[in-house]
Amino acid sequence: MKDSSSNHAPIYIILLGAPGAGKGTQAEVLGKRYGLAHISSGDLFRENVSKQTPLGVLAKSYMDKGELVPDDVTIKMVMERIARPDCARGVVFDGFPRTEAQAQALDAALAQENKKIGAAISIQVRDQVLIERLTARWICPACSTVYNLLSNPPRVAGNCDKDGSALGQRDDDKPETVRRRLDVFRRQTAPLIEYYRRSGFLRDLDGEQSIEQVTAAVVNIAQTL
């Protein structure tokens, strides 16, 4: 795949990884570079939470505990999202699918339109590093830029580089919720690594390199598609 100015059949890339693996960070770069829609199921839920929609109220009750939102509502939300026009060039999925039922629903939806996944990139990071990253993550409430006190700090402590807003933390980045999310990932989402390995789409990637090195590796994979 070339950059966003070229013509190409739509591309679907899945970023698979534990909480804090860097899915959101890399999806943002990849989406912009290749003109792909960045679909984060977590961001979609958080938008609903902040607008206090019925979906948001339901999702929050699971997110606060570090549990997965039920498959039926998650699948419906993402299927509606991929039908939107900005997905014409393709999609980079961040945090979806997370269960085998979600993966099957995505496969079926793409197959119906004679499309298929290009790559499922498994970004691997050890738990200790994930916990350190998530407790050091700060986010701009105005523009959603993500910072990290250890690896990617803002220029002025506590404020966004782009608009100066006071940075905040995610409710589910509390240490006990982080541990629960990691546990849920191992039990419910990690089996998807084998699911995509069996279908031949899996690409493994060392997620403990610097953000720039991980981007380079992700771009290398995208260029083969």
Residue 219 engages ligand AP5 in binding (rule: CB under 6 A): no
Residue 66 engages ligand AP5 in binding (rule: CB under 6 A): yes
Options 89, 133, 137, 203, the catalytic residue: 137
**Residue 192 CB-density burial (10 A; 0-12 exposed, 13-18 middle, 19+ buried):** buried
Indicate the helix (H) or strand (E) that contains 15. Answer: strand 11-17
Query: What six digits make up the tokens of 85?
Result: 């026009």
Residue 90 engages ligand AP5 in binding (rule: CB under 6 A): no
CA atoms within 13 A on the CB side of 88: 4
Options 46, 98, 133, 203, the catalytic residue: 98
Nearer residue to Mg ion within complex by CB, 18 or 160: 18
CB of 36 to ligand AP5, least distance (A): 16
Residue 37 engages Zn ion in binding (rule: CB under 5 A): no
Question: What is the pairing mode between strands 119-124 and 202-206?
Answer: parallel
Nearer residue to ligand AP5 within complex by CB, 11 or 15: 15
Question: What is the pairing mode between strands 137-139 and 146-148?
Answer: antiparallel
**Residue 115 CB-density burial (10 A; 0-12 exposed, 13-18 middle, 19+ buried):** middle
Indicate the helix (H) or strand (E) that contains 184. Answer: helix 175-184
CB of 120 to ligand AP5, least distance (A): 14
- List contacts with ligand AP5 (CB under 6 A): 17, 19-25, 41-42, 45, 62-63, 66-69, 74, 95-96, 98, 102, 133-134, 137, 146, 148, 151-152, 172, 181, 207, 209-211, 214
- List contacts with Zn ion (CB under 5 A): 140, 142-143, 145, 160, 162-163
Catalytic residues: 23, 98, 137, 170, 181
